[in-house]
Structure 1
Amino acid sequence: MQKGLVVITGASSGFGAEIAKLFNKDGYPMLLLGRRVEKIKELPLNFENVMVEKVDVTDFNSFESAIRKAEDKFGKTDLLVNNAGLMLLGNVITQDPNEWQTMLNTNVMGVLNGTKIVLDGMKSRKHGTIINMSSIAGFKAFADHAAYVASKFGVHGLSETIRTEVSSSNVRVSLVAPGAAETELLTHVTDKNALSDYNSWKESMGGITLNPVHVAESVKFIYDMPQEVNIREIDIATTAQES
């Protein structure tokens, strides 16, 4: 049986890169999207059936164009992993509102854009899976995370809403909510106090947070279930993370 196209956003590092490695190992045709395509091309992948495109997920037209280009080559999208996201920590009193908008655009609108692009085709084929990468901050509040929490609560809400709308068409919408993890999310934080507090919290857990490999394994586990089985949500964190 021919394997369907796997589309992964934010594939240059962290969760996206590890997810790409797993699906590549199993021989899936893939479209890997990101703004740093040079980093994607450095991943240890067999690029024989991999397409890499520079895409900002907030740009609907370029996002759709990249997916259609990959579908013309590999066939229709059977899995979309909406992984691209930003975490810009800061107190709402002092944080630049532009950072709020940046997070909402990427973390919420980017997910909606990808979903809209592939969903109609999945419904017509009565087959397909969308896995949205959220966060434990999508159902729990954390200090200095107000706008980020708002964006991830949004991902939780839209995922559950769309799931109910398409379940009768045998299309799966699932969500993975990691806790603190060893990714590059913190590299864009401009608030030094918020970053210092985060690192102190991390040290209270022994200084080591979640390995992205295990988050990728959770995504693969969801997808590998029969189409008639939808694991709606996985919340995953290190055992030492209490909150």
Structure 2
Amino acid sequence: MKTWFITGASRGFGTLFVKEALERGDNVVATARNARAIVDKFGDHPRLLAANLDVTDEAQARAAVEQAVKRFGRIDVVVNNAGFGVLGAIEETSAADVEAVYRTNVFGLLAVTRAVLPQLRRQRAGHVINISSIGGYRSAAGFGVYASTKFAVEGISEALADEVMPLGIHVTIVEPGYFRTDFLDGGSLTTTPSTIPDYADTPVGAVRRIAADLNHQQPGDPARLAKALLQVVDAEQPPLRMPFGSDTVAAIEQKNAFVAGELAQWRALAVSTDFPTSP
């Protein structure tokens, strides 16, 4: 039996992670800004602790971890799932919008991670799962600011994996593509209130139109992802990166091919900047 600590558990992937963990007999600490929403979904379950947690509040994060350990004695799997997106051109995205998405997606993830790591270190065991996105591996027009938060998550996670591996703790970055969740709804995706006409006929305008048409028509099945995550959690040597969705796999392959080709084209100039080697 494992004990999970899941943020953003009141909807979307978070709710599905809670469901899968409970159904297989694990303990779950499910957190959200309004924990009542979790209780309404799952009822008074003996292996479920619903806790209020605004991930941007470090004191609240520490309190939620203390509640978890007091109730279940340990934490085995941490899922940093809380987050939201912002859709708009870089120029259209206000400073307030940028700060808000970073506060949750990056600083909130860091706050929860810092709160839970002392317990994982004491155990000399645990698995931190940070929910990124295909946007954390390849950015795209219209999602530049959102993708930058997920790039930050991936950079943090890579370093964290090296830091905690000697302590028996694993780190996995989960990279979903387009899945049929409520991510494209107004509650999970902020659209910049002001638009610049010049961007209407650029990829930014196209993305705005595609996002509206794609909502609840995405190719990925969230329930299948939630079940697949169990295999990652149970792996003796879990992956650092775990992409989910055929669209994600295709995007990674495309970017890897582009980077390799560009590097080959410019390699001679790249290495020419070293000091000359002695004969």
Taking structure 2 as the reference length, the TM-score comes to 0.78
Q: Deviations over 1:66-122 (max 9, x none)?
A: 110121011111110000011011111122221111111111111111111121222
Aligned pairs for 1:95-106 within 5 A: 95-106=93-104
1:233 aligns with 2:233: no
Are the structure 2 counterparts of residues 56 and 167 from structure 1 closer, same or farther at C-alpha, using a change threshold of 3 Å? same
- The answer as to whether partners of 1:189 and 1:195 remain within 8 angstroms in 2 is no
How far apart are the structure 1 equivalents of 2:32 and 2:216? Answer: 32
Are the structure 2 counterparts of residues 44 and 179 from structure 1 closer, same or farther at C-alpha, using a change threshold of 3 Å? same
Matching residue's letter, 2:158:
E
Secondary structure of 2:243's match?
Answer: strand
Larger Rg: 2
Residue of structure 1 in register with 2:138 after alignment: 140
Secondary structure of 1:42's match?
Answer: helix
1:184 aligns with 2:176: no
My pick for the range that moved more, 192-201 or 71-80, is 192-201
My pick for the range that moved more, 91-100 or 212-221, is 212-221
Residue of structure 1 in register with 2:172 after alignment: 174
- The answer as to whether partners of 1:28 and 1:49 remain within 8 angstroms in 2 is yes
Residue of structure 2 in register with 1:17 after alignment: 15
Select 1:212's aligned residue among 222, 239, 262: 222
Q: Deviations over 1:43-66 (max 9, x none)?
A: 246711211112110101011101
Give the length in aligned residue pairs. Answer: 239
Residue of structure 2 in register with 1:75 after alignment: 73
How far apart are the structure 2 equivalents of 1:223 and 1:31? Answer: 16
Structure with the larger RCO, 1 or 2 (CA within 8 Å, 6+ apart): 1
How far apart are the structure 1 equivalents of 2:91 and 2:135? Answer: 19
Q: Deviations over 1:158-207 (max 9, x none)?
A: 11100001111121011110011222222242337769734526758994
1:224 aligns with 2:225: no
Taking structure 1 as the reference length, the TM-score comes to 0.89
Are the structure 2 counterparts of residues 68 and 199 from structure 1 closer, same or farther at C-alpha, using a change threshold of 3 Å? farther
Say what the alpha-carbon RMSD is for the aligned residues. Answer: 2.5
* Identity level (%): 26
- The answer as to whether partners of 1:58 and 1:105 remain within 8 angstroms in 2 is yes
Residue of structure 2 in register with 1:30 after alignment: 28
Secondary structure of 1:197's match?
Answer: helix
Matching residue's letter, 1:11:
A
